[in-house]
Structure 1
Amino acid sequence: MHDLDLWVRDRKQRANLCQALLDRGAVLLQDFHPYCLKFRLEGQIIEITYHNVKDGALVDVLNTFDVALCAMGARFQRGRLAEVHVTDECWQSIRAKEVRLLDSYFCFIGLERPASLLRSLHRMGQKAAELGYQVNSDHEHRLWEIYWKEYTEEERRTAMDLYFDTMVAYKGQHDERIVHRASVSYVPIPKAQGDAMPLPIAPRGLRVQPA
């Protein structure tokens, strides 16, 4: 298992879970707000998402995922296992040894055009390489079609920025093929490179004294 993703209902549960991990000897590796908190416990990487599921059921949470292979999970209540669920699309993906996307994710992409599209393309290739599976070419092609034909230039720029902020800056991973294919005419907005403090301008007739 590459890492363990934990979801909580609210901020209070998140604080309690973080404290419980620390009490067991976990080390906080990175607070990657607003995405997740990353811990290491006994060699296992644990990520606690900043997303609050509130009253959502386990199946509701799983249907917010992108890759079908990841749509499996367990719900704990008062320290005990309360529920386990594996979606049908996850089972189908395993049987076919193919990395696919959830139908619910395609609906989400079509309605919201989120910035996560490029990250999903990366995750498809990553999961296929890890498991020795094939990437579903129809799903991959469909994502690229949506990216270039339905996303605006600003939405594509936002998707690229999120890809670099998460997959590259946070996880230290990138797929050159995705970057090249998605970055045609992409020009990142440069961060400020000027002085950190304003320049003290003296009144007319006076000279600025060197420090």
Structure 2
Amino acid sequence: MKVKEENFIRCGWVSQDPIYIKYHDEEWGKPERDKLRLFEMICLEGQQAGLSWITILKKRQSYRKLFFNFDPHKIINLTENDINNLMLNSEIVRHKGKINAIINNAKCYLKMESDEEDFSKFVWSFVNYNPILNHWKHAGDIPAESVKSHELSKALKKRGFKFVGAKTCYAFMQACGLVNDHLIYCLSRK
């Protein structure tokens, strides 16, 4: 299904929700190379596990506020008391494992940094530093995972990251423009 607005055609997964339209048109599939923005997105994609992306997207500002704009140096200082308070906050997904994953992933990110491993270069290395441009005609043709997302997932898990399965990694790769899965007719394809 195609979503049309003022003669524009978007990918079929986009609803009429203005937040979703803005996300699709301005972010999804656009190459992101900022390491902290990439860290934010891998954390948010992990929050999506078992849920719809629009659920997380609508809570993104709250995540940013509660997790210090995804500054790993600040996230690692969250205490058990902070976690308990986050569990009571309906502005985010109240799942202890997912909240702990953000803290854990911040520690892993900082370990990579201390080992002089740049997160952006690490992530982009899985696509040889260039976006993969796919040529899908139908939303049903787009895979939920790929060989590259399995490789990224395995490498992240090896570094200790949590909630980074192959499907989560593929959604991350799509969102951050490592993979361009805009359908061939979509206005945002270019």
The structure with the greater share of residues assigned to helix is: 2
Q: TM-score, normalised by structure 1?
A: 0.27
TM-score normalized by structure 2? Answer: 0.29
Query: Radius of gyration: which is bigger?
Result: 1
Q: Which has the higher contact order (CA 8 A, sep 6+)?
A: 2
Indicate the structure with greater strand content: 1
